[in-house]
């Protein structure tokens, strides 16, 4: 006589419901042993220190993400007709703010991806954690380089390359934008995988399926958001042309 899973517990590997299965069998979806899904991996049974680290990591990560979105939105306004404020602040301010936000994200990711001391090595989801950490730690490095470049840009350029500077500036801007977008996509994908892993350990099937669909939708949300400022440029030019022609009409009306 074998025991049957009587609760609505998900497979901790793929999320499949194990209710009604033999406790000594394997998951029909991914062949993960049913017994392993039922023991040890519940987050509620994890150590208090580990849960405190997750709590801190999630809070700091959230703060960093909100800050990054706000900075991204405000700095995108530079490329619209509101862009005059761009010159009201020193150029080093924008990369410094990006650096601060991405440093918070990196700290949060670091705390969220530490090993659970209650789990054996093969259950740690380390592959995803490594990729996620690499992307999260690379982001403040990229923004840190931008801070240094902006701080150094006050110095005069050597005469032979001075005429090339605007071209170099534009080229490095495109490369940097692609790099930052790639890192954000890696971080977003890694976080979705991480939260799916946590959701399976709660266990909460609704949260699990939300984390899974977020993982599919997120790239389609992030890419237009990243190229959004580029899309604003034609709009800003059109607005500027409108204001210019309006000004011309007003000037003519005053003369007549
Ligand atoms: Zn499974």
Whichever domain contains 34, its CATH number is 2.20.28
CA of 44 to the centre of ligand 1 (A): 20
What's the pLDDT score for residue 200?
Answer: 72
CA of 37 to the centre of ligand 1 (A): 9
65 and 11 together in one domain: no
Give yes or no for residue 10 having a pLDDT over 60.
Answer: yes
Q: Could you read off the pLDDT of 185-228 as tens digits, one per residue?
A: 888 888 888 887 887 777 667 777 777 777 777 666 666 655 55
What's the pLDDT score for residue 193?
Answer: 83
95 and 202 together in one domain: yes
**CA separation for the pair 223, 234 (Å, rounded):** 18
32 and 49 together in one domain: no
159 and 106 together in one domain: yes
What does pTM read for this prediction? 0.69
With 0-12 / 13-18 / 19 or more C-beta atoms within 10 angstroms meaning exposed / middle / buried, residue 92 is middle
71, 89 contact by CB (below 8 A): no
Surrounding residues of ion ligand 1, Cβ less than 5 A: 11, 13-14, 16, 27, 29-30, 32
User: Percent of the chain having pLDDT more than 90?
Assistant: 17
Mean pLDDT of 117-121: 76
What's the pLDDT score for residue 40?
Answer: 58
119 and 176 together in one domain: yes
CA of 56 to the centre of ligand 1 (A): 30
**CA separation for the pair 73, 136 (Å, rounded):** 20
Cβ partners under 8 Å of residue 26, min gap 6: 32, 33, 34
CA of 240 to the centre of ligand 1 (A): 57
Q: Could you read off the pLDDT of 151-191 as tens digits, one per residue?
A: 877 655 556 666 666 776 677 777 787 888 888 888 888 88
Mean pLDDT of 229-234: 50
CA of 202 to the centre of ligand 1 (A): 15
What's the pLDDT score for residue 208?
Answer: 72
63 and 131 together in one domain: yes
Mean predicted lDDT score pLDDT of the chain:
77
Provide the phi-psi class of 157: left if phi over 0, else alpha when psi is between -120 and 50, else beta.
beta
Buried b (16+ CB within 10 A) or exposed e, 233-252: eeebeeeeeeeeeeeeeeee
Q: Could you read off the pLDDT of 39-73 as tens digits, one per residue?
A: 656 777 778 888 889 889 988 988 998 888 888 77
How many CB atoms are located within 10 Å of the residue 148 CB?
Answer: 11
Note down the domain range covering 11: 1-39
Show the tokens assigned to 44. Answer: 């509620």
Share of the chain residues as helix, strand and coil, in percent rounded to the nearest 5? 75, 0, 25
Q: 242 in a domain, yes or no?
A: no
Of residues 235, 153, 181, 161, the one with CA closest to residue 68:
181
The alpha-carbon radius of gyration of the chain (Å, integer) is 25
208 and 150 together in one domain: yes
């Amino acid at each position: 006589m074998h025991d049957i899973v009587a609760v609505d517990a998900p497979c901790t590997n793929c999320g499949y419901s194990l209710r009604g299965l033999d406790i000594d069998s394997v998951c029909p979806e991914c062949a993960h042993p049913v017994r392993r899904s039922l023991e040890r991996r519940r987050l509620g049974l994890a150590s208090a220190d580990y849960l405190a680290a997750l709590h801190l990591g999630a809070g700091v990560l959230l703060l960093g993400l909100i800050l990054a979105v706000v900075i991204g939105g405000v700095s995108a306004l530079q490329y619209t007709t509101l862009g005059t404020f761009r010159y009201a602040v020193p150029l080093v301010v924008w990369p410094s703010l990006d650096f601060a936000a991405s440093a918070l994200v990196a700290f949060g990711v670091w705390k969220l991806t530490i090993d659970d001391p209650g789990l054996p090595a093969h259950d740690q989801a380390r592959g995803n954690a490594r990729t996620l950490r690499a992307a999260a730690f690379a982001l403040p490095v990229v923004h840190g380089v931008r801070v240094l470049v902006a701080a150094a840009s006050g110095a005069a350029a050597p005469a032979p390359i001075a005429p090339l500077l605007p071209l170099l500036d534009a080229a490095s801007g495109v490369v940097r934008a692609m790099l930052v977008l790639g890192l954000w996509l890696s971080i977003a994908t890694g976080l979705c995988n991480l939260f799916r892993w946590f959701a399976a350990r709660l266990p909460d099937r609704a949260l699990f399926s939300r984390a899974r669909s977020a993982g599919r939708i997120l790239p389609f949300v992030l890419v237009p958001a990243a190229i959004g400022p580029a899309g604003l440029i034609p709009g800003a030019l059109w607005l500027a042309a409108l204001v210019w022609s309006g000004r011309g009409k007003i000037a003519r009306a005053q003369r007549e």
